[in-house]
């Protein structure tokens, strides 16, 4: 698959999330190859996002980002990222750091909070220098992957069993 010369590729929070899980998914999503929308994990994630934290506003869109929940708390913007499990904690942290960075680049100060409603857990995420450095490296690597002419080959990893692309990769 050749990239259209005029098509500009962007890193998104979703791509950052998948970067820490599976490079093949980064390429597939970045090339608009969508996963099985009827997959039970996709449906459950959508349900948890839509029905958790009903008193807070949903989906703040900024640049290439769509943040799950947001609210003003003591005069400060709080961005929340809702996940069905803490099993992918590092991915979730970096995705939220990406959102905080998108806001910072636009002059908006915010703090982040990961939320795992099924586990009744919350975790603060701060965009410090080390996190910014890691995020910069991840964004560069994601862009490198997106410009590959074809996706990286499938590799069996522990996340494959719950992946909505499993049929695509392994059939």
Residue with tokens 């002059």: 107
Q: Does 69 map to a domain?
A: yes
Q: How far is residue 114's CA from residue 123's CA, in Å, rounded to a whole number?
A: 5
The set of residues, in sequence order, having a beta carbon less than 8 Å from that of 100 and lying 6+ positions away, is 79, 110, 111, 112, 125, 127
Q: Does 34 map to a domain?
A: yes
- The number of domains in the chain is 1
Q: How far is residue 125's CA from residue 22's CA, in Å, rounded to a whole number?
A: 22
The pLDDT tens digits for 45-102 are 444 445 554 555 456 677 777 777 788 888 888 888 888 888 889 999 999 999 999 9
Model-level pTM greater than 0.85?
Answer: no
CATH, residue 91? 3.90.320.10
Q: Does 169 map to a domain?
A: no
Nearest to 138 by CA among 85, 81, 91, 68: 91
């Amino acid at each position: 698959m050749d990239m259209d010369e005029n098509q500009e590729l962007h890193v998104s929070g979703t791509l950052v999330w998948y970067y820490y899980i599976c490079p093949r998914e980064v390429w597939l999503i970045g090339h608009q190859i969508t996963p099985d929308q009827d997959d039970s994990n996709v449906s459950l994630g959508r349900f948890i996002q839509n029905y958790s934290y009903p008193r807070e506003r949903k989906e703040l869109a900024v640049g290439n980002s769509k943040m799950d929940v947001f609210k003003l708390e003591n005069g400060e913007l709080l961005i929340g990222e809702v996940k069905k499990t803490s099993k992918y904690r590092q991915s979730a942290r970096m995705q939220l750091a990406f959102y905080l960075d998108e806001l910072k680049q636009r002059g908006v100060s915010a703090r982040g909070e990961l939320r795992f409603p099924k586990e009744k857990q919350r975790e603060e995420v701060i965009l410090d220098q080390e996190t910014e450095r890691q995020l910069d490296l991840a964004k560069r690597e994601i862009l490198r992957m997106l410009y590959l002419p074809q996706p990286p080959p499938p590799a069996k990893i522990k996340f494959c069993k719950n992946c909505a692309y499993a049929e695509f990769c392994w059939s």
